[in-house]
């Protein structure tokens, strides 16, 4: 394996795309909308796609199509809770990550490349049924084992989503002549706005040494003025103060280094570098080796990609009150890339909050 320093980093950007390009047949990387499931076997059910804190159904956040040696098709999916109350500090139980893979020869997709033109208009509407027959929730696009008991034509993952759809639309439509496929689905306000994620390699300057900066090389000059001005008020001894100032400056330095690294492409929402290192924005809450649990197969997990705070700008979650928030979402996946062909393997996400936001 190559050393981390020479790994190419792929940057991801959001881009408007025609809806058909974001469906399963096209193997998209995308954010928002409903998940474009890859394999149909083992799609996680409602009990797997629920918030570890409040228990409500999670919303689809994004998926990254990332084939690798041994996996012709391979997609990583991230879900997150819509309730801002679940997103405090470094809390990560409100996120779920799944990995799924398919060989080139499979029952769902053609062996050749995906079609490069839109399907007939009649097939372009959102489908709430997988090819294999399983029905999906009309609100969130996850498995929908619950059927409307009156018309038996629409499905939901949960009672919460059934009620959501009932109030907005279904109570007006629910009868025998209702055409579930022909009716435009209601806008429930549950999904995030849908965009394609396109990637391009990061261009690095020759003076990029700053990113591999030495955190311990700060001199006392860096900190002396700040120490003098605050000595009297704080009544701390000089050593203590020096240590504090040094800590602060390290923190500033890593944040400045983060900003510098993304300054050439400030719109990046994703950094993909399998087996590389995350770009942290703070010294606080960086995982130790033991903080990253092993995969269920027993292999260790390695870093694969990180979601950047810039993605929040596209999610329409801003409000004057608290909202969904993060600094870095670092995704770690099975280093052995163990079999995920008949099921969706849960992977691991580490959340680093923006410094000062920890509550």
Of 38, 62, 86, 273, the residue at the interface with Zn ion (CB under 5 A) is: 86
What minimum distance in Å lies between the beta carbon of 302 and Zn ion? 11
**Residue 76 in contact with Zn ion, rule: CB under 5 A:** no
- Answer whether 42's CB lies under 8 Å from 299's CB: no
Q: Which of residues 202 and 304 has its CB atom nearest to Zn ion in the complex?
A: 304
Helix axes 220-234 and 238-263, enclosed angle (nearest 10): 130
Interatomic CA distance for residues 283 and 215, integer angstroms: 10
Interatomic CA distance for residues 192 and 36, integer angstroms: 14
Q: How many CA atoms lie within 13 A of 198 on its CB side?
A: 7
Stretches 85-93, 103-111, 122-130, 303-311: which one binds Zn ion (CB under 5 A)? 85-93
Of 17, 185, 286, 299, the residue at the interface with Zn ion (CB under 5 A) is: 299
Site for Zn ion in 240-259 (CB under 5 A): none
User: CA dist 224 to 97, 219, 238, 240, 241, Å?
Assistant: 46, 9, 10, 13, 10
Q: Which of residues 215 and 297 has its CB atom nearest to Zn ion in the complex?
A: 297
Measured in whole angstroms, the distance separating CA 333 from the mean position of its chain's CA atoms is 13
Stretches 7-15, 32-40, 88-96, 305-313: which one binds Zn ion (CB under 5 A)? 88-96
3-state helix vs strand vs coil in the chain, percent to 5: 25, 20, 55
Interatomic CA distance for residues 91 and 3, integer angstroms: 31
What minimum distance in Å lies between the beta carbon of 34 and Zn ion? 9
**Residue 61 in contact with Zn ion, rule: CB under 5 A:** no
**Residue 157 in contact with Zn ion, rule: CB under 5 A:** yes
- DSSP single-letter state for residue 223: H
Give backbone dihedrals phi and psi of 186, rounded to 5 degrees, phi first. -65, 155
Residue 334: which residues within 8 A CB-CB, separation 6 or more?
99, 295, 297, 299, 301, 345, 347
What minimum distance in Å lies between the beta carbon of 329 and Zn ion? 16
Q: Which of residues 40 and 202 has its CB atom nearest to Zn ion in the complex?
A: 40
**Residue 143 in contact with Zn ion, rule: CB under 5 A:** no
**Residue 150 in contact with Zn ion, rule: CB under 5 A:** yes
Q: How many residues belong to the chain?
A: 359
Interatomic CA distance for residues 33 and 342, integer angstroms: 24
What minimum distance in Å lies between the beta carbon of 297 and Zn ion? 3
**Residue 281 in contact with Zn ion, rule: CB under 5 A:** no
**Residue 338 in contact with Zn ion, rule: CB under 5 A:** yes
Number of residues that bind Zn ion (CB under 5 A): 22
**Residue 151 in contact with Zn ion, rule: CB under 5 A:** yes
**Residue 307 in contact with Zn ion, rule: CB under 5 A:** no
**Residue 137 in contact with Zn ion, rule: CB under 5 A:** yes
**Residue 183 in contact with Zn ion, rule: CB under 5 A:** no
**Residue 334 in contact with Zn ion, rule: CB under 5 A:** yes
Segment holding 241, helix H or strand E: helix 238-263
Q: Which of residues 5 and 339 has its CB atom nearest to Zn ion in the complex?
A: 339
Residues at the site binding Zn ion, with contacts judged by CB under 5 A: 51, 53-54, 57, 81, 83, 86, 94, 137, 139-140, 148, 150-151, 157, 161, 174, 295, 297, 299, 334, 338
């Amino acid at each position: 394996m190559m050393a981390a320093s020479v790994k190419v980093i792929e940057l991801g950007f959001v881009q408007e795309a025609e809806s058909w390009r974001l469906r399963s047949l096209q193997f998209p990387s995308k954010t928002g909308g409903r998940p474009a499931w890859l394999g149909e076997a083992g799609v996680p059910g409602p009990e797997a796609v629920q918030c570890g804190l409040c228990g409500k159904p999670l919303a689809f956040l994004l998926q990254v199509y990332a084939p690798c040696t041994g996996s012709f098709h391979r997609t990583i999916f991230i879900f997150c809770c819509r309730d801002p109350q679940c997103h405090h500090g470094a809390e990560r139980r409100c996120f779920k990550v799944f990995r799924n893979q398919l060989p080139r020869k499979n029952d769902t997709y053609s062996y050749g490349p995906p079609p490069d033109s839109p399907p007939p208009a009649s097939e372009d509407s959102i489908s709430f049924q997988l090819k294999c027959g399983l029905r999906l929730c009309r609100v969130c696009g996850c498995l929908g084992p619950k059927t409307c008991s009156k018309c038996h034509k629409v499905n939901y993952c949960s009672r919460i989503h059934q009620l959501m759809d009932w109030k907005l639309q279904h109570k007006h439509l629910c009868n025998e002549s209702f055409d579930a496929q022909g009716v435009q689905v209601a806008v429930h306000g549950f999904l995030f706005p849908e965009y394609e994620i396109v990637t391009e390699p990061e261009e690095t300057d020759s003076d990029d040494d700053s990113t591999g900066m030495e955190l311990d090389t700060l001199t006392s000059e860096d900190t002396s003025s700040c120490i003098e001005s605050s000595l009297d008020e704080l009544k701390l001894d000089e050593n203590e103060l020096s240590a504090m100032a040094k800590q602060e400056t390290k923190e500033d330095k890593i944040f400045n280094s983060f900003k510098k690294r993304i300054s050439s492409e400030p719109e990046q929402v994703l950094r993909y570098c399998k087996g590389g290192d995350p770009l942290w924005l703070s010294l606080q809450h960086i995982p130790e080796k033991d903080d990253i649990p092993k995969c269920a197969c027993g292999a260790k997990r390695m870093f694969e990609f990180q979601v950047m705070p810039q993605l929040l700008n596209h999610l329409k979650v801003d409000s004057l009150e608290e909202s969904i928030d993060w600094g870095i979402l670092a995704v770690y996946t099975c280093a052995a890339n163990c079999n995920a062909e008949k099921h969706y393997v849960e992977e691991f996400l580490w959340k680093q909050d923006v410094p000062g936001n920890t509550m």
